[in-house]
Amino acid sequence: MRPVVLRELTPRELPPGCFAFVMATGIVAVGAYQSGLETQAGVLLVIAALTWVVLAAMTVWRILRHRDRVLQDLRDPTRAFGFFTFVAGTNVVGSSIAALGRPVPALVLLIVATLGWLVLGYVVPWSAVLGRQERPVLATANGTWFIWVVASESVAVCAASVEPHMPQYTHGLAIVAVLAWSVGLVLYAACAVFVSLRLLLYPLEPNELNPPYWVSMGAIAITVVAGARIVEMHSAPIVDATRELIAGMAVVLWSFATWLVPVLVAVGIWRHWVHRIPLTYEAGLWSIVFPFGMYAVAGMYLGQADGLPLTSFVGRSWFWVALAVWSIVFVAMVTSMVRGRAVSISRP
């Protein structure tokens, strides 16, 4: 493997979307917990949490010592939306911790992630899109834009996950959950329009249909999870006013996410089989693992919240696919790191 694998692990070259691994591992941990595999869920959660700590420290170091590279990434519309993986990764870990009955650290992570979501929600679109002089910016739209949606919905999921353990904060957490869910839903519609127009109006090379396009399905799946979690929240004015609407929308969105799966699989076949683009490890593959895991969790939570045996069955069955994909990509990542280190060491 190319030594670039090692360079990407340094603070200077840390990619904006580095928390995608945390997102993918954390959501598979949630799926394992929902499937009754508590030991496996614990192991996955520890891996996700430790990785989050390391990446958070490296991110802070990068901001302090390599601010020029951070600003460069913020101005790049093909990379800037990757910063939202920090928000999503933080909330996924927080939701997992809440599920294990540790609401206090989960609440702390929710606060950190919400602040990050609010700041990035204004800084990233302005720096990468609205504030750019180059036009048309639409030509740079890609699958990473959907991570903004994922970040928004992750706030709703974490807030709804913490609420059962902290009923004294029900009203505040309910407002945060419904607000974030609503914002994420509108953002999905906007991102879908932008990305669709880019695919229709500009030339598209096979190598450009990269793994992050799978986030388009993952963004819908996490919206389903957020909706299902809100439906199960205790009574609060904003929840009571939207419960039936959100419950119905969750079913509609799950159906669309299901429809998208074969479409994205077909795109992968077109890219790697028809156009012979080699299928090798890249960090972006975690953008495929996350939607796989999120789709499984969405089916399980939706079945539980709305009493739908079919979605629950699909979710539990799909979890094993998600776990297998996580395992394959994890082995590929470790192998690429070992090979990259060997290449680097062998060079004078």
The band of 4, judged by pLDDT with boundaries at 50, 70 and 90, is very low
Higher pLDDT, residue 204 or 228:
228
Establish if 347 belongs to a structural domain.
Answer: no
Shortest CA distance to 88 belongs to which of 116, 107, 61?
116
- pLDDT exceeds 70 at position 105: yes
DSSP 256: H
Does residue 20 belong to any structural domain of this protein? yes
Is 344 among the domain residues? no
Cα distance between residue 25 and residue 44, in whole Å: 6
Number of independent structural domains in the chain: 1
Residue 272's pLDDT band, with cuts at 50, 70 and 90, is confident
More confident site: 341 or 139? 139
Provide φ and ψ at 166, rounded to 5°: -135, 70
Q: pLDDT-based confidence at 121, cuts 50/70/90?
A: very high
pLDDT confidence bin for 2, thresholds 50/70/90: very low
Burial class of residue 175 (count of CB atoms within 10 Å of its CB; 0-12, 13-18, 19+): middle
Supply the range of the domain harboring residue 259.
Answer: 4-338
Q: Looking at the domain assignment, is residue 346 inside a domain?
A: no
Q: Which is higher by pLDDT, 231 or 276? A: 231
In the structure, what pLDDT confidence band is assigned to residue 6 with cuts at 50, 70 and 90? very low
In this structure, the chain runs to a length of 348
Alpha-carbon gap, residue 259 to 272, rounded angstroms? 21
Residue 257: is its pLDDT beyond 50? yes
Distance of CA 319 to the CA centre of its chain: 16
> Locate tokens 């509609």: which residue?
252
pLDDT (tens digit per residue) in 72-82 = 999 999 899 99
Q: Is residue 64 part of a domain?
A: yes
Confidence band for 140, pLDDT divided at 50, 70 and 90: confident
State the maximum Cα–Cα separation within the chain, in Å, rounded to a whole number.
67
Neighbouring C-alpha atoms within 13 Å toward the C-beta of 284: 17
- Residue 191 burial (CB count, 10 A): 22
Residue type, 277: I
Q: What is the DSSP letter of 78?
A: T
Structural domain contains residue 67:
yes
**Residue 136: is the preceding peptide bond cis (ω within 30°)?**
yes
The whole-number pLDDT of residue 3 equals: 35
Joined tokens for residue 259? 């429809």
Could you tell me if residue 257 is inside a domain?
A: yes
How sure is the predictor about 217, in pLDDT bands with cuts at 50, 70 and 90?
very high
- The three-class DSSP label of residue 184 is helix
Cα radius of gyration (the chain): 19
- The predicted pLDDT at position 340 comes to 61
Asked if residue 343 is part of any domain, the answer here is no
CA–CA separation, 302 and 298 (whole Å): 6
Average pLDDT over residues 136-154: 91
Q: Mind listing the pLDDT tens digit for each residue in 284-331?
A: 889 899 999 999 999 999 999 889 999 999 999 999 999 999 999 999
Closest Cα to residue 199, out of 185, 211, 213, 188? 213
Residue 203 pLDDT: 79
Mean pLDDT within 232-241: 94
Instruction: Count CB neighbours of 269 within 10 A.
Output: 11
pTM of the model as a whole:
0.91
Whose structure tokens read 């009955």? 101
- What CATH number does the domain containing 262 carry? 1.50.10.150
